[in-house]
């Protein structure tokens, strides 16, 4: 079964060092599990690195048996088979039956052909799997806020592309999709259940128009905030979910900043450095502050005619900050699918580039 894991990493600094290129390819395709920080040898003596460097990439036209490589690498045939199984799942290697032993070779007889086959298959399967979003999407047609600011820092993309398989007991189509996409982590366990916190949180994002804050999500799900926060970060790493400033809470943020700064620095500071005079903020807000009667609703009403961009500038001058919220990475389901495909294609282009560099280094 095709099962490709992709972890977006920067291209290697030294693009002519063969071992660095192979290590980058191994890391990008998640062909081995990292243990701690960078290894002293850069991973060049790991079994998977030696299988690629000394065998598959050095002699791409021939096949290799587990028994042969086990003797060469001083490993058990079972260990060699394990590494080849991961290469087959990624679509880079094909196995053929021999006389008692299976023979493994690069798909298509070269690295570039293998990567081309892997890329074509990954795009097709990812396109097919993303179609489920059409049936579970419940957001409104107009989910834009009055002010749309760019998303918060983008995480390196971590995508899993896996062929569809029959639904097992204790899961449904959505939980299976989330598991296969990497939304449930490397070892989902009970999170694969349709009633798990991860699945319910994803359903919440699929049906909520405004961005969802961490507090709101934890309250609605009845789950601890730290756990919900970790799940949301995992969602973000797949590229399907983004974290953005909650501009829909601008009035509340302004009220909080005004109340705080008036109590600390007073009216003169509010007028001069706080931006009230510069932006022609109605004096009614200062009067309400003096009496201790200012409310978020009053801020909304008084600043109704002030352009949203000026309100953002006022918040900045007052030293206030907007809370962050999470939402699906697109206003419509087609946009989310398009963005996810763009993430996949970006990573695959890097892999193709490194593949060409490796072939040129022979």
Distance CA 256, CA 323 (A): 12
Do 355 and 118 contact (CB within 8 A), yes or no? no
Q: How many CA atoms lie within 13 A of 78 on its CB side?
A: 0
**Tens of pLDDT along 327-359?**
999 889 999 999 999 999 999 999 999 999 998
CATH class of 3-121+348-360: mainly alpha
Please give the CATH topology (third level) of the domain spanning 142-246+325-331: Arc Repressor Mutant, subunit A (1.10.10)
Listed by start position, the domains of the chain span: 3-121+348-360, 142-246+325-331, 249-317
Task: Quote the distance between the C-alpha of residue 80 and its chain's center.
Answer: 31
Residue 169 burial (CB count, 10 A): 4
Beta bridge partners of 162: 3
What pLDDT tens digit does each residue of the chain (362 aa) get? 899 999 998 887 776 788 889 999 999 999 876 544 445 455 567 889 989 998 899 888 888 888 888 888 888 888 888 899 999 999 999 988 766 678 889 999 999 999 999 999 999 999 999 999 999 999 887 778 877 878 888 888 999 999 998 998 889 999 999 999 999 988 888 889 999 999 999 999 999 988 999 999 999 999 999 999 999 999 999 999 999 988 888 899 999 999 999 999 998 999 989 899 999 999 999 999 988 899 999 999 999 888 888 888 999 999 988 889 999 998 899 999 999 999 999 999 999 999 999 988 76
**Tens of pLDDT along 280-289?**
999 999 999 9
Residue 164 DSSP code: -
Nearest in space to 177 (alpha carbons), one of 163, 187, 158, 196: 163
**What is the token pair recorded at 208?**
């909520």
Do 122 and 348 contact (CB within 8 A), yes or no? yes
Query: 223 vs 197, 212, 218, 300, 353, CA distance in Å?
Result: 7, 14, 5, 32, 44
Residue 304 DSSP code: T
Residue 198: phi, psi to the nearest 5?
-65, -45
Distance CA 88, CA 233 (A): 30
**Tens of pLDDT along 126-139?**
999 999 999 999 98
Q: How many CA atoms lie within 13 A of 318 on its CB side?
A: 31
Residues 6+ apart with CB under 8 A from 216: none
Q: Report which secondary-structure segment, H or E, holds 327.
A: strand 324-328
Do 104 and 82 contact (CB within 8 A), yes or no? no
């Amino acid at each position: 079964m095709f099962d490709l894991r992709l972890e977006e990493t920067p291209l290697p600094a030294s693009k002519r060092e063969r071992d660095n290129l192979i290590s980058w390819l191994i890391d990008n395709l998640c062909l081995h599990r990292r243990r701690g920080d960078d290894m002293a040898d850069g991973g060049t003596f790991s079994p998977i690195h030696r299988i690629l460097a000394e065998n598959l990439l050095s002699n791409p036209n021939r096949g290799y048996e587990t028994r042969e490589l086990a003797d060469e690498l001083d490993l058990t045939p079972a260990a060699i088979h394990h590494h080849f199984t991961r290469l087959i799942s990624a679509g880079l290697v094909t196995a053929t039956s021999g006389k008692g032993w299976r023979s493994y070779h690069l798909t298509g007889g070269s690295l570039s052909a293998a990567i081309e086959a892997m890329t074509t298959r990954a795009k097709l399967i990812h396109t097919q799997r993303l179609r489920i979003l059409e049936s579970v999407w419940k957001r409104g047609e107009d989910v834009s806020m009055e002010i749309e600011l760019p998303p918060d820092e983008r995480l390196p993309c971590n995508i899993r592309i896996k062929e569809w398989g029959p639904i097992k007991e204790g899961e449904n189509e959505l939980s299976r999709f989330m598991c296969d996409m990497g939304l449930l982590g490397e070892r989902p366990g009970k999170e694969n259940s349709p009633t798990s916190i991860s699945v319910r949180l994803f359903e919440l994002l699929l049906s909520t128009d405004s961005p969802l804050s961490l507090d709101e999500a934890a309250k609605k799900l009845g789950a601890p905030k730290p756990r919900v926060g970790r799940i949301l970060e995992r969602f973000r790493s797949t590229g399907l979910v983004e974290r953005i400033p909650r501009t829909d809470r601008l009035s509340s943020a302004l009220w909080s900043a005004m109340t705080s700064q008036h109590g600390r620095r007073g009216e003169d500071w509010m007028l001069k450095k706080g931006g009230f005079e510069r932006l022609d903020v109605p004096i009614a807000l200062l009067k309400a502050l003096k009496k201790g009667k200012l409310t978020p609703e009053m801020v909304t009403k008084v600043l109704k005619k002030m352009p949203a961009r000026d309100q953002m500038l006022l918040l900045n001058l007052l030293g206030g900050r907007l809370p962050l919220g999470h939402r699906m990475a697109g206003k419509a389901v087609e946009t989310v699918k398009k963005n996810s495909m763009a993430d996949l294609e970006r990573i695959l282009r890097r892999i193709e580039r490194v593949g060409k560099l490796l072939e040129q280094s022979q």
